[in-house]
Amino acid sequence: MPAEYPIQASPNGRHFVTSTGEPFFWQADTAWVMFHRLTLSEVESYLEDRAAKGFNMLLAVAVNQFGDQDPNRAGDLPLLNRDPTNPNEPYWTHVDEVVQLAWERGIRIAMVPSWGNYIHDNVDNSKSINASNAREFDTWIGKRYPGLPKMLVADTNPYWTNKSAVSNNYKLGGRHGTLKYTDYSPVYDELAAGLIEGEGSKAMITIHCTNQWFEGGPIAFSSAFFGDRKWLTFDTSQSGHASYPQNPPIPWWNAVRGYEPVELMHASTTPRPVLDNEAKYENRYDNGKPVNPYWNASDVRIGTYQSVFSGAAGLTYGADNVMQFYIPDLFAPANSGPARSWAEDIHLPGSSQMQYIKKVIMDRSPPLDRVPDQSIIVGNSGTDAKHVTAVRDGNGRWLMVYTPTGKAFTIGV
């Protein structure tokens, strides 16, 4: 990749900058299965739309939750014999081409080398990526894709087990420790070591956690699990898509309080750029259930403003049919939202509105000095979609307050 491709943490550790030190506000779209499900011509149509709307980052999985068993549109699998040390060159040539097409339009790729189910599944079975081959796989990834921000795995934690069994166990009075689980963090460490070996010590690395966690264990954001690791260079959470518990009484992040994990990550004693890396997707049902209404542009916009004003170094947008690149009659729908073609849903209104959140931040000078500051608001700042948030310049030159509903508020300066 060209020398100007990488991003890194700002000198104060709170934001992103380019390789030349220019402020970089992360405006990402969620394109999990883009490499797997789209042809190059479809990729170009998608990229043209996202570039026109100011997106500068895409989240995409190289070996996704379907990919080691189902071929891409050209008929190629990512791995031969499901072996992470034996990549299938035609598949990765396609990935190369997509990365280049995005870069030509000013868009970087934040790559997830593999989905979490290749390390372990929901019933704690180890899978094809393990402590013996993880480093070799990610060394290869790091050499081939240097400079791309990396998320070691997606939608998992270093230990996880059958969520339904855990939920039932809790209901019977049991607790986390009464169910068997395995600590897979050594595999994560090997993955990170491979990336650093492949692309160098400046690799930008995080993990993409679930939005649930075990009672008594680390809560679900990257630094809660790996805060003492030097390889963790930015911090992420997943506030998710549910306004009520998914597997009660397992703790979870509430989708209408995405600012809460952002505040906790920002309060870390080790400053890192932080992101709510998977907030509620536009046109996804609350909790993914058709009996509930789906999240609309207003819901997405409110949560994004709240997270950014609470200290996030950018935003990650998602549209339910776009993140899965649903194509009727070709792929089965996820049924987590109204099933419509991705080519239709790239035009959802929320996707056009994210650029204005970036503009609000980048138009303030200097953008790298901004700090969240709830003490600006006098009295009750509200909660959920009514939560009022405040951000200011570190030297007191400006402040901004976001009120989602237009509700009156009082500031003290």
For 86-99, write each residue's pLDDT tens digit: 999 999 999 999 99
The pLDDT of residue 159 is: 77
Q: Which residues 6+ apart lie within 8 Å of 100 measured at CB? A: none
Contact assessment for residue 269 and residue 224, using Cβ atoms and an 8 Å cutoff? no
Q: Output the pLDDT for position 156.
A: 86
pLDDT band at 182 (very low <50, low <70, confident <90, very high): confident
pLDDT at 178: 60
pLDDT at residue number 176: 53
Q: Closest Cα to residue 313, out of 10, 15, 12?
A: 15
What is the rounded distance in angstroms from the CA atom of residue 79 to the CA atom of residue 88? 5
pLDDT value at 366 more than 70? yes
Asked whether the predicted pLDDT for residue 249 surpasses 90, the reply is no
Say whether pLDDT at 247 is over 70.
yes
Closest CA to 225 of 201, 241, 206: 206
Candidate CATH numbers 3.20.20.80, 3.60.15.10, 3.40.50.2300, 1.10.3080.10; the one for domain 7-368: 3.20.20.80
Average pLDDT over residues 246-258: 90
**Average pLDDT in the chain:** 93
C-alpha separations of 264 from 220, 240, 268, 269, 275 in Å: 11, 16, 7, 10, 11
Beta strands at 23-24 and 26-30: parallel, antiparallel or unpaired: unpaired
Residue 6 gets which letter from DSSP? Answer: -
Q: Would you say 53 and 354 are in contact if contact means Cβ atoms under 8 Å apart? A: yes
pLDDT at 175: 56
Q: What is the pLDDT of residues 42-77, one digit of tens each?
A: 999 999 999 999 999 999 999 998 877 889 999 999
Report which of 28, 58, 47, 5 is spatially closest to residue 355, judged by C-alpha positions.
28
Section 16-42 average pLDDT? 98
Q: The tokens of 274 are what?
A: 């932080």
Cα-based distances in Å from 367 to 5, 106, 264, 359: 20, 20, 21, 10
C-alpha 142, offset from chain centre = 19
397, pLDDT greater than 80: yes
d(CA 343, CA 108): 21
Kindly state the average pLDDT of the residues 241-250: 88
Rounded CA separation 131/120 (Å)? 12
Q: Provide the whole-model pTM.
A: 0.96
Note whether 295 and 284 are within 8 A (CB). yes
Order of strands across the sheet with 23-24? 7-9, 16-18, 23-24
Does the pLDDT at position 410 exceed 90?
yes
Domain edges within the chain? 7-368
